[in-house]
Each structure stands twice: as structure tokens, then as C-alpha cells.
Amino acid sequence: MTKEQINKLLLDGEFHDTSQRPELVETHISWVLITEHFVYKIKKPIQYSFLDFSTTDKRKYYCEREIELNKRLTEDIYLDVQAVRESKDGYFMGGEKGEIIDYAVKMRKLDRNKQMDKLLLNNQVTLHGIKDLAEKIAGFHQHTTIIYHKDFLDVQKLFIDLEGERDYLREHLNANNSIIINRAIETSNRFIDSSKGLLANRLKQGLFRDCHGDLHSRNIFLLPSPQPFDCLEFNDDYRQIDVLNEIAFLCMDLDAFGRSDLAEYFLNCYNDFFPIIKTEEERRLFVYYKSYRSNIRAKVNSLRARTTENDKERSQCLGEADKYLHLMDSYIKMVGSK
């Protein structure tokens, strides 16, 4: 679909299970339509080096894939794939009338006040909730598919990509960020070179698994049972990672919220349920993965700042990039100090 068609669907489209006009939330890869009881997610017709939604058939496939993968972690949230149709009478979500022009993932709407990021902002995340979440993620990791063939050095290549944002961030933030980026990349290269044996052993031991891939607080509802949702469906390689890499993302996110206490508690609880950190070498790898995750967040926010035409949004993105650069720097100093 095009943005014009999405706007027409919002204004005049027919939804068979609701009469309420949807609210639109737009991401860089999807349009999310929110009604009173349901959420519909339509993938944008785009193609990048890591993602291909360029045809209707591919978007249908990834809608089906999204439901299949997310049902591993959620309960009664991901419902089915709905056809988006067009006829001379307008646009329709579901039903049989009209020609199919696209597809949408249909989800049950949950209380957005229970999203973990909002609860963190309101200081409403409890130790009990963290323990339940750790138990859920550890159980998921223990039973998901083991990956035995993987380029475990890809994390180093992805880390180096931040170099492409160095000049832009130096120009729009300050020169010190250039120093931070250079130091981080140099330390990352040394660390990975010295850790190839450790990574190879972790792959051999079955600690690379088919994970969630995007595990941070905005993708978790803390309900009576924690519900991590919106896992990565569009690129298997991004999702099939070291389980330490997966939980490092969430712990880094908690650190970014100023809740390092919750990050440490989550890690300890997770490690009790699924002991994967037994040595100082593995603890150091965990910190490296946190530096990698903050590196990626800095890069993503820099790219968003580059592309937005809204000055306020650009300023916000640059502020986020600066925050994650300094967080990365704090981690990388710990990695490089030993």
C-alpha cells in the first residue's frame, strides 16, 4: 500500500470488527492501525539490505512469519493475517469484497499503560515483575531452536558500522563523540580478536539460539504474565544470536532508563533459571554485548536524525544518539580495562 491509500483506509475504510476510526502509528517499516479492540500492522513496500517487503507476496509471507514467531512468547495476542481489499466502494480490512491489495497482521489490543517502557517512566516496575520476566525469557531460550551454524564475528562488523555516522555526529553534537566512536571501535576489534575461541565454544555449546531479536522494554507488556512481543521476523540472522546478546539488549535498555538495579536483578534471576554466565570471561562478553546494543541504538538515532525534516524530532534523535554513545563508552571502558 501507499501512504495515500493508508490515509484513505483510515478516513473511509471499513473494518468488519469495529466501527471506530483507527489511530495511526508509523514506524520506519510499518503502518500500525489501532482501533478500540484490535491492532492491524501493515508492512511498508520497502527494500533494504537487511529487509525485503517489496512485493505483496513477500509482505504476506512476513505477516504469516510474524504471527508464527511471536506466538512462541505471547498468549492470545497475535490472531491472524487479514487481507486489505479495494473496490469501487472503497477500502476494506478483511472480508471478501474487493481486490486484495495488501495484508495486515491482526493483534488483540492490550493496555498500553502496561508497556514496560511506560511503567519504567512511572517507576511502576516491580522486582516481582522482573523475576517473572526473567523466568519467561530463560524458559523460552532453553526451549527455542539451537543454532549451530552462524558467523559469530558478524557482531564485530555491525559494531564497526557506527563509523559511518562519526562525521555527522561530530558536526551536529560535539567533537568528543568522534573520540568515543574511535575508541569503541578499536576496543571492539581487540576484544573480538581475543574472544574468537570463546565465541566459537558458545556456538558449539548451543548458546546461539533462535531468539526474540529485539528484546527491549517497549516490546514487553508486563501483565499478570509478561508478554514480550514484536520479535524480528524480517531477518533470521538478526534473531539467531547468542542468548547473552539477547538479554544484554534488555539490560542495556534498563541501564538507559537509569535502572541498573533492575538490570542486575534481571540478569541474576535469569542466570538462576538458565546459568549462562559462569566465568569472568562470560561476564565481560555480556558487557561487550551491552556496548554493541547501545552502539546500534546510537546509530539508529543518528540515521533518524539525518532523514527527518522535523527540527524537534531531529533534536530528540540527536539527544538519544548522544545518550547511547556515552552509555556505549561506559561499557567499552569496562571491556577494555582488563
Q: What does pLDDT average to over the chain?
A: 94
State pLDDT tens for residues 38-65. Answer: 999 999 999 988 899 999 999 999 999 9
Beta-sheet pairing, 90-93 with 14-15: parallel
Instruction: Work out the average pLDDT over 273-285.
Output: 96
Distance separating alpha carbons of residues 253 and 234, to the nearest angstrom: 22
The structure's pTM equals: 0.93
State pLDDT tens for residues 223-273. Answer: 889 999 999 999 999 999 999 999 999 999 999 999 999 999 999 999 999
Confidence of residue 30 (pLDDT cuts 50, 70, 90): very high
At residue 327, the pLDDT reads 97
Confidence of residue 19 (pLDDT cuts 50, 70, 90): low
Sorted by where each begins, the domain ranges of the chain are 3-109, 116-336
Beta bridge pairs of residue 51: 48
**Which CATH topology does 3-109 take?**
Phosphorylase Kinase; domain 1 (3.30.200)
Instruction: Work out the average pLDDT over 144-165.
Output: 94
Homologous superfamily (CATH) for 116-336:
Aminoglycoside phosphotransferase (APH), C-terminal lobe (3.90.1200.10)
Distance separating alpha carbons of residues 197 and 274, to the nearest angstrom: 22
**Which H helix or E strand runs over 23?**
strand 23-26
- 98-102: list long-range contacts, CB under 8 Å, 24+ apart: 100/56, 101/1, 101/5, 101/56, 102/1, 102/42, 102/56, 102/59
The three cell numbers locating residue 27 = 514506524
Q: How many helices (H) and strands (E) does the chain have?
A: 13, 13
